Chain A
């Protein structure tokens, strides 16, 4: 599976935007970019995914670089409930939809 690289941690103030970068320079043309987050003592939660175009949903936006070698998850207005570990994962189309989690980025939100 292609590898992703994320910063270990990021801090944000409440109600400010958070931009979470992810590098995936070995991405293949058919890999989907997935983002999940995990709150303490819970299972992960789907955030967003994309292939080539930028994506928006009620939780976040995903900005994908033109060469697809990096992407950025954008939380538009962080709340205390957004404090979690955010995982950027590439899903290949030949691996039966399984997701391999890396270390992720721990997001801390200051009140």
Chain B
């Protein structure tokens, strides 16, 4: 089956630093990738949608200058949390859609970010 690899699985950083999370589709080309975050005991919240080679579309209330998304190739998207603060601590999850695979979305295993 299709695999989406997300790295790192967890990261601890100091307040004010930036953190990059990678999301790779291993055996298919991801025409569209989505980034979610999830706080403890809550559901997933969609942050942004990115299509390869174009700018990401951010959901209302998500700061595009803080959460930089790059989707430079059909197999890689990155989310950079810039100047992270403790309130950015969350579980970040990417998902990918392959046009040839129809309706399914494939999700990464998530990245737990803890900002001290």
A101 touches B103 (CB 8 A): no
- Residues of A20-34 at the interface with B, using a CB-CB cut-off of 8 Å, are 32, 34
Is B67 part of the binding interface, using a Cβ–Cβ cutoff of 8 Å? no
Is B6 part of the binding interface, using a Cβ–Cβ cutoff of 8 Å? yes
Q: Give B contacts to A, CB under 8 Å.
A: 4, 6, 32, 34, 36, 43-46, 49, 57, 91, 93-95, 97, 103-110, 112
B34 touches A43 (CB 8 A): no
Q: A45 to chain B: closest CB distance in Å?
A: 7
- Residues of A60-104 at the interface with B, using a CB-CB cut-off of 8 Å, are 87, 91, 96-104
Give the interface residue-count category, chain A.
20 to 34
> Could you count the A-B residue pairs with CB atoms below 8 Å apart for me: how many are there?
54
Tell me what chain B mostly uses at the interface: helix, strand, loop, or mixed.
strand
A43 touches B107 (CB 8 A): yes
Sorted from nearest, which 8 A-B pairs have the closest CB atoms? A43-B107, A101-B44, A101-B43, A43-B93, A46-B104, A43-B110, A44-B107, A49-B103
Given the contacts A43-B95, A102-B43, A97 and B105 also touching, CB distance less than 8 Å: yes
A-B contact pairs, 16 of them (CB 8 A): A42-B110, A43-B93, A43-B107, A44-B95, A46-B105, A49-B103, A87-B43, A91-B103, A96-B57, A97-B103, A98-B49, A99-B34, A99-B46, A99-B105, A102-B43, A103-B43
